[in-house]
Amino acid sequence: MSITIADKDTENDLKIVGKNVKRSDALKKVTGTLDYVIDQKMPGMLHGKLLRSEYARAEIIKIDTTEAKAIKGVYDVLTGENLSQPVPRFGSIKEDQPLLADKEVKYHGEPIAIVLAVDEETAKKALKYVKVKYKQLPSVSTIEEALKPNAPIVHSNDQDNEKTNSNICGHWDYNWGDVDLQKENSSFTINNEFEFPMIHHFPIEPYSCISYPVDDELVIKTPIQHPFILRRVVAQALNMELSKVRAISNTIGGGFGGKGYPKIEPLAAYLAMETVRPVKITLSLDEGFFSARRSSAQVNICTGFNSEGFINYQDITIKYLIGAYADSAPRVAGKSSYLACGPYRTPNARINCEAVYSNTVPSTAFRGFGMPQLIWALESQMNEASKIVGLDPVDIRLKNLPEKGDVLIPGDNPVDGDWKQGLRKAAELIGWGKDNEKNKGKGIAIGIKNPIPASVSKSIVRLHADGSVTVSSGTSEMGQGAKTVMGQIAAEELGVPMNRVSVNLGDTSVAPFDTATAGSRSTVSMGRAIKSACDDIKNQIKEIIHELYTLKTSEEMIISDGYVKVHEKVISYAEILTEYMGPNLGEIVGRGVFKGTKINNHPMGGLADFWEIVFTASEVKVEKETGKLNINKLLNVSDVGCVINPLQAEAQEEGAAIMGLGHTLMEQLVYDNNSSKLMNGSALDYRVPTSMDIPDNFESDFIENHDGPGPFGAKGLGESGIIAVAPAVAGAVSEAVGIKMKDLPISAEKVWGLINNKK
Q: Which residues bind another protein (CB under 8 A)?
A: 20, 22-23, 25-36, 38-39, 201-206, 251-256, 284-286, 478-481, 647-648, 650-652, 654-655, 657-659, 682-684, 688-692, 694, 698
Taking CA atoms, 619 is separated from 104, 435, 437, 616, 703, in Å, by 50, 12, 11, 11, 22
Q: How many CB atoms lie within 10 A of CB 28?
A: 13
- Supply the minimum distance, in Å, between the C-beta of residue 254 and another protein: 4
* Distance (Å, whole) CA 474 – CA 509: 9
Going by C-alpha positions, the residue among 719, 714, 705, 9 that lies closest to residue 422 is 705
Selection from another protein, ligand FES, none that 147 binds (CB < 5 to 8 A by kind) is none
- Supply the minimum distance, in Å, between the C-beta of residue 346 and another protein: 33
- Supply the minimum distance, in Å, between the C-beta of residue 531 and another protein: 24
- Supply the minimum distance, in Å, between the C-beta of residue 428 and another protein: 21
Phi, psi of 416 (to 5 degrees): -115, 20
Helices (H), 148-305: 179-185, 227-237, 265-275, 285-288
Helices (H), 495-569: 522-549
Residue closer to ligand FES by CB (options 26, 42) is: 26
Build a one-symbol-per-residue string for 426-465: x at contacts with ligand FES by CB under 6 A, - elsewhere.
Answer: ----------------------------------------
Selection from another protein, ligand FES, none that 6 binds (CB < 5 to 8 A by kind) is none
Residue closer to ligand FES by CB (options 254, 562) is: 254
- Supply the minimum distance, in Å, between the C-beta of residue 482 and another protein: 11
Residue closer to ligand FES by CB (options 204, 585) is: 204
- Supply the minimum distance, in Å, between the C-beta of residue 483 and another protein: 11
Selection from another protein, ligand FES, none that 692 binds (CB < 5 to 8 A by kind) is another protein
Residue closer to ligand FES by CB (options 30, 70) is: 30
Residue closer to ligand FES by CB (options 254, 586) is: 254
Query: At a CB cut-off of 8 Å and minimum separation 6, what does 32 contact?
Result: none
Chain centroid to Cα 252, Å, comes to: 13
Taking CA atoms, 582 is separated from 28, 468, 551, 572, in Å, by 36, 16, 21, 15
Residue closer to ligand FES by CB (options 223, 323) is: 223
Peptide bond into 347 cis (omega under 30): no
* Distance (Å, whole) CA 28 – CA 291: 29
Instruction: Answer for the pair 439, 726: CB distance below 8 angstroms, yes or no.
Output: no
- Supply the minimum distance, in Å, between the C-beta of residue 204 and ligand FES: 4
The residue from 479, 708, 711, 745 that contacts ligand FES (CB under 6 A) is: 479
Residue closer to another protein by CB (options 168, 285) is: 285
Residue closer to ligand FES by CB (options 204, 679) is: 204
Residue closer to another protein by CB (options 125, 542) is: 125
- Supply the minimum distance, in Å, between the C-beta of residue 302 and ligand FES: 40
Chain centroid to Cα 700, Å, comes to: 20
- Supply the minimum distance, in Å, between the C-beta of residue 563 and another protein: 31
- Supply the minimum distance, in Å, between the C-beta of residue 149 and ligand FES: 45
3 state DSSP class of 16: coil
Strand 556-560 versus strand 348-356 pairing type: unpaired
Strand 440-449 versus strand 348-356 pairing type: unpaired
* Distance (Å, whole) CA 530 – CA 254: 24
Residue closer to another protein by CB (options 33, 307) is: 33
Selection from another protein, ligand FES, none that 214 binds (CB < 5 to 8 A by kind) is none
Selection from another protein, ligand FES, none that 162 binds (CB < 5 to 8 A by kind) is none
Element housing 196 (H / E): strand 188-196
- Supply the minimum distance, in Å, between the C-beta of residue 504 and ligand FES: 22
Going by C-alpha positions, the residue among 462, 488, 598 that lies closest to residue 540 is 462
Residue closer to ligand FES by CB (options 204, 276) is: 204
Selection from another protein, ligand FES, none that 522 binds (CB < 5 to 8 A by kind) is none
Query: At a CB cut-off of 8 Å and minimum separation 6, what does 460 contact?
Result: 471, 472, 473, 511, 512, 533, 589, 590, 591, 592
Residue nearest ligand FES, CB atom distance: 204
Residue closer to ligand FES by CB (options 45, 651) is: 651
Phi, psi of 534 (to 5 degrees): -70, -40
- Supply the minimum distance, in Å, between the C-beta of residue 691 and another protein: 4
The residue from 42, 204, 276, 585 that contacts ligand FES (CB under 6 A) is: 204
Residue closer to ligand FES by CB (options 211, 480) is: 480
Selection from ligand FES, another protein, none that 23 binds (CB < 5 to 8 A by kind) is another protein
* Distance (Å, whole) CA 153 – CA 104: 13
* Distance (Å, whole) CA 360 – CA 198: 10
Helices (H), 174-226: 179-185
- Supply the minimum distance, in Å, between the C-beta of residue 576 and ligand FES: 41
- Supply the minimum distance, in Å, between the C-beta of residue 207 and ligand FES: 15
Build a one-symbol-per-residue string for 621-660: x at contacts with ligand FES by CB under 6 A, - elsewhere.
Answer: ----------------------------------------
Residue closer to another protein by CB (options 118, 153) is: 118
Going by C-alpha positions, the residue among 670, 665, 724, 669 that lies closest to residue 689 is 665
Selection from another protein, ligand FES, none that 107 binds (CB < 5 to 8 A by kind) is none
The residue from 254, 562, 603, 713 that contacts ligand FES (CB under 6 A) is: 254
By CB under 6 A, the count of residues binding ligand FES is 3
- Supply the minimum distance, in Å, between the C-beta of residue 79 and ligand FES: 30
Going by C-alpha positions, the residue among 451, 496, 418, 261 that lies closest to residue 338 is 451
Residue closer to ligand FES by CB (options 519, 655) is: 655
Query: At a CB cut-off of 8 Å and minimum separation 6, what does 425 contact?
Result: 615, 637, 701, 703
3 state DSSP class of 641: coil
Build a one-symbol-per-residue string for 598-627: x at contacts with ligand FES by CB under 6 A, - elsewhere.
Answer: ------------------------------
Number of H helices, E strands in the chain: 19, 29
Residue 317: beta bridge partners? 300, 352
Task: Give the CA diameter of the chain.
Answer: 88
Interacting residue ranges for ligand FES, rule: CB under 6 A: 204, 254, 479
